[in-house]
Amino acid sequence: MLSIQNLYAGYGSLEVLKDIGIDLQDHQCVGIFGHNGAGKTTLLRSIIGAVVPTSGRLTWDGEELPYGDVPATVKRGIAFVPQGHNVFPNLSVEKNLVIAGALFGEAFLSEVLQLFPVLQERRSQRAGSMSGGEQQMLALGMALMTKPKWLLLDEPSTGLAPVIVRNVMDGLRDVNRRFGTGILVVEQNVPATLKLVERAIILKSGQIVFDGSRDELSAKKDLWEWF
C-alpha cells in the first residue's frame, strides 16, 4: 500500500497541499480531480520526489519513499508521466523507449510494443512527427519501460480528440489489468476518467473535499460545487 499521511507541501512560502491523507491499495485505479491550481500536480510531484514535502509521510508498505530523489523513486517502482508530450521529438519511437528503459534494460520493450501496436507499427518513425495521441501513447510506453508498480499521470488526455482520449483510457486499463500496475491519474476530463477509475478524489485549495468510489461520485448531483 502506498500511503500519504498528513502531507503538507508547497513552493517557498506558498503552502499548496494541506494535510493530505490518502491510502492507495496495490493495483488500484484512482482519479484525482479539482479546479486549476488546486494542487493536483503538486501532489504527483511530491510522490515522485520532484517536490520535497514540508511535513508529513509518504510510505510504501511501511517504508518511507526517497523524498526529493526522483531517480531513486523511479527505481523503487513509481513512474510519472508529466503533462504534455514528453518524448524526444528527434529520436525514433524505438530509441525513445530504449532510453526510457535505460535504468532497467530493454527486457520490457517487446511487452510495451505488444501493448501499444501503434508504437510497434511506428517504431522507426521520428517521435516528433507522430500525432498528439500517438505521442501520448509513446510517453505512456516510456513510463512503462521502468516496469512501475505505480503509474502517476498528469492530465494524459489534454489536447486529444474524444476518440483518442478513449484509446488512452483503454491503454491505461490494459496496463492496470495486464501488469497489475496501480494508476493515479489527474484529469480535467471527469466523465472519461470515471469510466476507468474505481475511486475518485477531489482536491480543492490543497485539501481533499471528496474521497470515494466512482459510483458515489457519479451519483452526486452537486459535483460542480467543488470546481
Ligand X SMILES: Nc1ncnc2c1ncn2[C@@H]1O[C@H](COP(=O)(O)OP(=O)(O)OP(=O)(O)O)[C@@H](O)[C@H]1O
Interaction partner, residue 37 (ligand X, Mg ion, none; CB < 5-8 Å by kind): ligand X
Report 176-215 residues binding Mg ion (CB under 5 A). Answer: none
| CB of 36 or CB of 124, closer to ligand X | 36
Q: Are 96 and 119 in contact (CB under 8 A)?
A: no
Size of the site for Mg ion (CB under 5 A): 1
| CB of 92 or CB of 188, closer to ligand X | 188
Q: Does 9 bind ligand X (CB under 6 A)?
A: no
Q: What's the chain's length in residues?
A: 227
| CB of 32 or CB of 115, closer to ligand X | 32
One-letter amino acid at 170 equals D
Interaction partner, residue 34 (ligand X, Mg ion, none; CB < 5-8 Å by kind): ligand X
C-alpha cell at 105: 534494460
Nearest distance in Å: CB 44, Mg ion: 8
Q: Does 117 bind ligand X (CB under 6 A)?
A: no
Phi-psi domain of 79 (left: phi exceeds 0; alpha: psi -120 through 50; beta: other): beta
| CB of 113 or CB of 194, closer to ligand X | 194
- Which helix (H) or strand (E) covers residue 30, if one does? strand 29-34
From start to end of 53-166, where are the E strands?
Answer: 55-60, 63-64, 78-81, 150-154
Report 25-64 residues binding ligand X (CB under 6 A). Answer: 34, 36-42
Nearest distance in Å: CB 37, ligand X: 4
Q: Residue 190, SS3?
A: helix
Q: Does 16 bind ligand X (CB under 6 A)?
A: yes
Residue nearest to Mg ion (CB): 41
Long-range contacts of the stretch 215-224 (C-beta < 8 A, 24+) = 218/194, 223/190
Planar angle of CA 44, 189, 9, nearest 5 degrees: 20
Report 7-66 residues binding Mg ion (CB under 5 A). Answer: 41
| CB of 130 or CB of 183, closer to Mg ion | 183
Q: How far is CA 12 from the centre of its chain?
A: 25
CA distances from residue 212 to 25, 110, 148 in whole angstroms, order as listed = 13, 37, 25
| CB of 14 or CB of 163, closer to ligand X | 14
Residues engaged in binding Mg ion (CB under 5 A): 41
Residues engaged in binding ligand X (CB under 6 A): 11, 14, 16, 34, 36-42
